[in-house]
Amino acid sequence: MIKKIYEKLNNILSVYIFGNPNRFNYNIFNFFYRTIICKNNKKNEKINDLVKNGYFKGSKASKEFIDLIRENIINKKDIDKKTTEFLHQDKIENKKKNIAFNVDPSFRNKIIEFIKTDFKDDLLALENYYNNKISIAQIQVKRNLPLENKEYYNKYARTKEFEIYSNYYHVDFYVNTHLKMFINLQDVKKEDGPLHIYSKPSTRKFIKKNKYKNRNNYQCKELDGLYVNSGMVGETLFANTTECLHRAGIPEENHHRDILFISFIVIPEKFDNNKSFLDYYDKLDQNVVWSHNNSNVVFKTKPKRLKDTFNLFKKYYVSKMI
């Protein structure tokens, strides 16, 4: 009972003061991180977009990077046609509508090297903004397929059971030192079910106008501020999914969306040198970074209690670069 009241109060205060449905203590953390630790370089347009809207279009992934993933992970059967059965074992199917592809260890280092080179400038700008080193926390290659009973998804109230791939509007329950990147592994058109995201100011409007209570309960009406992340193969989006309402689009019949998701976290540790720490967690434990489930690394930005949230902030403060 007390927990319920606390959660409700937490949510009401968050929406009223910060304009998003994330936890109140996380929003407090975000406020202080932004005010005390962040270094906002106003000359960088991408960082300006991140601060103002909560997302920005990143650099384009190289053709070599996309080909590596398409040929060796998604279209494996094209390379080894005899082993289609193996291909089947090699991916996890969630109700057959959401496929997570396993990434063979032999390709993992190459993928990380591509991320380091292709997005070098974006990642450097982010590190300077967050004023702490950044590492990859999780990498997932996924395919979203059309869902049955499309009308169901327009209902006011829906159950979690039918949310197959984060296709209800939500924010990710982490603090804002958790950042997601979406890389198009194909040309993504409207009918392929692109990511839908609202900027930070539009998130506030969405909550009010659509009577947003939680991800299962709101009026399903898109508003003017919606950003639909369609685009060409290789195009990318960095997003603060902890403060912007977002959902996966649902592909139309005979369409799908192949996407590479990368979660980055700001590392709550002090380093003496200025090299890249992008593979920091991958070096510690590969299984965690490449797993299909939310990993321990990602959970570093999900403190449980108020005290843990404060301690995390303290760590970031002590480790900040300047």
Q: Which of residues 232-261 bind Fe ion (CB under 5 A)?
A: 241
**Residue 78 to residues 68, 73, 74, 87, Cα–Cα distance (Å):** 13, 10, 9, 10
Is residue 193 within 8 Å of residue 257, measured between CB atoms? yes
CB-wise, 204 or 246, nearer to Fe ion? 246
Q: Which of residues 267-286 bind Fe ion (CB under 5 A)?
A: none
Q: Which of residues 172-201 bind Fe ion (CB under 5 A)?
A: 172
Bridge partners (DSSP) listed for residue 179: 264
CB-wise, 76 or 200, nearer to Fe ion? 200
Instruction: Break the chain down into helix, strand, coil percent, rounded to 5.
Output: 45, 20, 40
Q: Which of residues 136-175 bind Fe ion (CB under 5 A)?
A: 166, 172
Report the nearest approach of Fe ion to the CB of residue 93 (Å). Answer: 20
CB-wise, 244 or 267, nearer to Fe ion? 244
Report the nearest approach of Fe ion to the CB of residue 171 (Å). Answer: 7
How does DSSP assign 126-168, residue by residue? HHHHHTS-EEEEEEEEEEE---S-GGGGGSSB--GGG-SSS-S
Query: CA-CA distance, 123 to 178, in Å (whole number)?
Result: 13
Report the nearest approach of Fe ion to the CB of residue 248 (Å). Answer: 8
Report the nearest approach of Fe ion to the CB of residue 38 (Å). Answer: 22
Q: How many other C-beta atoms can be found within 10 angstroms of the C-beta atom of residue 232?
A: 11
CB-wise, 129 or 165, nearer to Fe ion? 165
Q: Cα dihedral sign for 128, 129, 132, 135?
A: negative
Report the nearest approach of Fe ion to the CB of residue 166 (Å). Answer: 5
Q: Closest CB to Fe ion belongs to which residue?
A: 172
CB-wise, 241 or 291, nearer to Fe ion? 241
Give the interface with Fe ion as residue ranges (CB under 5 A). Answer: 166, 172, 241
